[in-house]
Amino acid sequence: MFDLSGRRALVTGSSTGIGYALAKGLAGAGAELILNGRNAARLAEAVGRLRDEGATVHAAGFDVTSADEVEKAIGDIEREIGAIDILVNNAGMQRRAPLEQFSHEQWQELMKTNVDSVFLVGQAVARHMIGRQRGKIINICSVQSELGRPNIAAYTASKGAVKMLTKGMAIDWGQHGIQVNGLGPGYFKTELTEALVKDETFSKWLTGRTPSRRWGDVEDLVGAAVFLASNASNFVNGHILYVDGGVTATL
């Protein structure tokens, strides 16, 4: 039920961090990969590492916030590489500032990256999946799809939007054999959170706030991603699976 052999997965924003870990995990379950990123050097390095480990990997360096680039890239992938069976909408960004100091330009950049990309890539891929009457879409949400923290109001708004867009996609596309679900990471050790991990005060607060009493490791996300990408989740649709050590379960 969890075997992804013969499936092809596109993972956006997968040169590093959570996106790379998810792509590697899907490859471990048998999937062929298409990695996406805007930094050509990082993308090539990620592709090379996974190929060295035996994965079948392709690179697709397009801007997920550009409607024209997305449309062209998805068409090229479908024609030249093959059908996209699994889409992981992972590309995202964070900007921290008190909301009263958050500029309109920062708001627009964050929303384009975190929300518009999910709509644009999801829609472009789903149009092909609808014709095949099958497909899996996994949108990367966050515990901030449910919870707030100081100085990240815009990010929280964006991830709340991704949660509800996930449900909307499931409602519209479920009739076509497509399952659309969200994966909601808690606090994970990545390049982007390194400063927080090293902040003893914050780490002490976080581990005390987390029932599992630790930070997440990116490998903790792999099982959930494989489940949502595989036949094991064929009747799971419009669900947000939080992988957070229990953060969303407690005050």
Cα gap 125→212, rounded to integer Å? 36
In the block, which residue shows the tokens 């009747």? 235
Are the C-beta atoms of 131 and 177 separated by less than 8 Å?
no
Are the C-beta atoms of 141 and 182 separated by less than 8 Å?
yes
Cα gap 168→1, rounded to integer Å? 26
CA dihedral defined by 66, 176, 129, 111, rounded to 10 degrees?
20
Q: Specify the amino acid at residue 6.
A: G
Cα gap 134→47, rounded to integer Å? 27
Q: Could you tell me the sign of the dihedral formed by the alpha carbons of 58, 63, 65, 67, in that order?
A: negative
User: Which of 20, 155, 187, 242 is an active site residue?
Assistant: 155
Does residue 155 have an active-site annotation? yes
Residues annotated catalytic, as ranges: 155
